[in-house]
Amino acid sequence: MNKNEVEQVVDDAVGSIKEEQSWLLTYADMMTLLFAFFVLLFSLSSPDPVKVSKMQDGMGDQPELKSFNAVTKEFEDIIEDLNIEGKAKVGADPRGVTLEIDGDICFESGSTIIHNTLAEVLKQASEKVFAQQDDYRLIVVEGHTDSDDIPKSLKHIYPTNWELSSARASKVVKYLIDNDVNSGKLQASGYADRWPANLSWFDVRSGKVTDEVIAENNQTVEQKKLNRRIKIVFTKN
C-alpha cells in the first residue's frame, strides 16, 4: 500500500467517524437551547410570597370557620340577651354579615366615649363572634353620622363629620383590640353623613347618594338617630 492509499484510508476513516458523531452536535445544540429556555422561564417567574404561603398553609389542616348563618345567629343572640331589639339589627350586604347599632346607645352627641350598652355589645361580640384566632376574615367597623354640623365647641377636635365618624370607628376598633380581638383583621372606616341608614350598599356604590338624598334622609329626629350609628361588617374574606 503506497502513501496515497494510506492517506485515503485515513481520510475515509476520519470521515466515517465524523458522520457517525454528527448527531451529537445537533443533540448538544438542542440541549443548550432547552437549557437557555428554562433559565429564561425561571428568570421571568417571580414567586408570590403570599401564594407560596397559602400553598404551604394548604398542606396543613384547615381551620373550620363558622358559617354566616352561625355569625348571624350569634349577633341576634347578643341583641336578644341585651334586650336591645329595635336599637340594633342584623343584616347582610355583598361584603358579609352586618350588625348596625343605633347612635343613641353608642355615643353622646359629638363624643367618642363609648356608651355602656355599646361596650357590652362589643364585649360579647369579642367573646362569641370574633374569638376564633385562626379565622382571618376581615371585620370592618364603620362610623356614620347625621348631617348636623359639628358644634362650634368641638370643631377644634372634629372639624367635620368625617373626622368624628372616623374617630368613633377607631374607638370601637381599639375597644375590640383591648378585648383580645386580633388587630390584624380589624379595619376602621368613617363615612360621615354619606351613607344614610335606609340606603343600601348598592345605592352607595352606584353613586345615588347626593346632597339632596342626604337632606331628605335627615329631616326628622328619628332619621338622624338611625343615621348616627355604628355598623360592623363580618366579611367573606
Tens of pLDDT along 7-30? Answer: 555 465 555 655 556 666 677 778
- pTM (predicted TM-score): 0.73
Bridge partner list, 88: 85, 101
Q: 33: domain range?
A: 3-46
Position 60 in a domain = no
More confident residue, 9 or 134: 134
**Quick one: cell of 46?**
417571580
- Same structural domain, 17 and 95: no
- Same structural domain, 190 and 110: yes
pLDDT given for residue 39 in this prediction: 75
Q: Could you tell me the CATH number of the domain that includes residue 185?
A: 3.30.1330.60
Question: What is the average per-residue pLDDT within 54-68?
Answer: 70
More confident residue, 45 or 124: 124
- Same structural domain, 182 and 214: yes
CA distances from 106 to 5, 54, 103, 126, 225 (A): 112, 39, 5, 17, 11
Position 61 in a domain = no
Position 51 in a domain = no
CA distance 103 to 190: 14
Bridge partner list, 142: 189, 231
Helix (H) or strand (E) holding 226: helix 221-227
Query: How far is C-alpha 103 from the chain's CA centre?
Result: 26
- Same structural domain, 182 and 77: yes
Residue 81 has pLDDT above 60, yes or no: yes
How many domains is the chain partitioned into structurally?
A: 2
Indicate the pLDDT class of residue 205, thresholds 50, 70 and 90: very high
Indicate the pLDDT class of residue 40, thresholds 50, 70 and 90: confident
Position 104 in a domain = yes
Residue 138 has pLDDT above 60, yes or no: yes
- Same structural domain, 95 and 166: yes
